[in-house]
């Protein structure tokens, strides 16, 4: 989702995000031609005080994505493509935090500058099962005209192969591999587990991330928020309520 939090569907202060990016061993963000995020699906509490879902992208919601973003700081990160999952309440039903009353969505997104989208697509899915791993992949292929075609795919059942969801062309040719965790609503959970993180080199090979680092300051406008990130290994991290660090 966008790096700025100005368009939150509950209110402008009800959005919180953490972005973690791939670095080299010196802590400098790297730019590559693809990213793979193996993410454990979570059944998160959603904020019942938020308005009911009016489609696929409003109301209380929990989001997790794989990202490729141009640039290395600030607004440059807003030139990006992403694929991920979103959990929202079914339309008109916020009566209880019951997993059977939630909708799971796959979404893809291309953004050209902060808050300006060329494309934002959603697909309802029943394949996002809690406590199972989904592999989200963005693969870039350089074109003769100097652009890159990014193919966004997901593997729901480990070993069953990838399903291509969407593709985008960009004039920027490399991007920082990232993972995103986001929530809307103070009562929405934000726990997340990104592991087996890989990126694609320009020679077409895939390798593990060399290290992980927070991409931008922790977005925290919520009076009771305490979400932190914690490095597990050089290519894995968690988002949790305590025991980690703020960005």
Q: Does residue 159 sit within a domain?
A: yes
Does 95 have pLDDT greater than 80? no
CATH of the domain at 229: 2.60.120
Q: Does residue 7 sit within a domain?
A: no
pLDDT tens per residue, range 26-49: 999 999 999 999 999 988 888 877
Which pLDDT does position 133 carry in this prediction?
93
Q: Does residue 134 sit within a domain?
A: yes
Q: pTM here?
A: 0.89
Q: Does residue 6 sit within a domain?
A: no
Does 101 have pLDDT greater than 70? no
Tell me what percent of the chain is helix, strand and coil, each rounded to the nearest 5. 5, 50, 45
Q: Does residue 3 sit within a domain?
A: no
Q: Does residue 166 sit within a domain?
A: yes
Which pLDDT does position 61 carry in this prediction?
83
Domain range holding 111?
15-240
**Rounded Cα–Cα distance for residues 208 and 116 (Å):** 31
The lowest-confidence range among 104-118, 120-134, 179-193 is 104-118
Residues in Cβ contact with 33 at an 8 Å cutoff, skipping those fewer than 6 apart: 139, 140, 141, 142, 148, 174, 199, 200, 201, 202, 204
Averaged pLDDT of the chain: 84
Q: Does residue 8 sit within a domain?
A: no
Which pLDDT does position 225 carry in this prediction?
67
Mean pLDDT is highest, among 9-18, 71-80, 88-97, 177-186, for 177-186
**What's the number of domains the chain is made of?**
1
Q: Does residue 212 sit within a domain?
A: yes
Q: What is the mean pLDDT of residues 153-179?
A: 91
Which pLDDT does position 92 carry in this prediction?
57
């Amino acid at each position: 989702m966008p790096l700025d939090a100005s368009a939150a569907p509950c209110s402008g202060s009800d959005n919180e995000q953490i972005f973690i990016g791939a670095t080299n061993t010196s802590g400098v963000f790297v730019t590559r031609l693809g990213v793979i995020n193996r993410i454990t699906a979570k059944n998160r509490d959603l904020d019942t005080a938020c308005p009911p879902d009016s489609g696929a992208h409003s109301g209380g919601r929990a989001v997790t994505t794989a990202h490729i973003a141009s640039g290395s700081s600030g607004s440059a990160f807003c030139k990006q493509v992403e694929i991920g999952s979103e959990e929202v309440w079914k339309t008109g039903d916020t009566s209880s935090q019951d997993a059977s009353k939630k909708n799971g969505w796959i979404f893809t997104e291309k953004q050209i500058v902060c808050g300006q989208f060329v494309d934002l697509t959603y697909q309802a899915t029943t394949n996002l099962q809690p406590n199972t791993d989904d592999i989200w992949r963005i693969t870039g292929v350089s074109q003769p005209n100097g652009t890159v075609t990014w193919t966004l795919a997901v593997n729901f059942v480990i070993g069953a192969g990838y399903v291509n969801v969407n593709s985008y062309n960009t004039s920027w040719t490399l991007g920082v591999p990232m993972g995103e965790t986001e929530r809307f609503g103070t009562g929405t959970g934000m726990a997340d587990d990104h592991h087996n993180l890989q990126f694609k080199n320009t020679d077409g090979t895939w390798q593990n991330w060399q290290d992980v680092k927070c991409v931008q300051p922790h977005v925290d406008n919520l009076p009771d928020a305490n979400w932190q990130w914690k490095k597990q290994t050089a290519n894995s991290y968690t988002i949790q309520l305590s025991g980690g660090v703020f960005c």
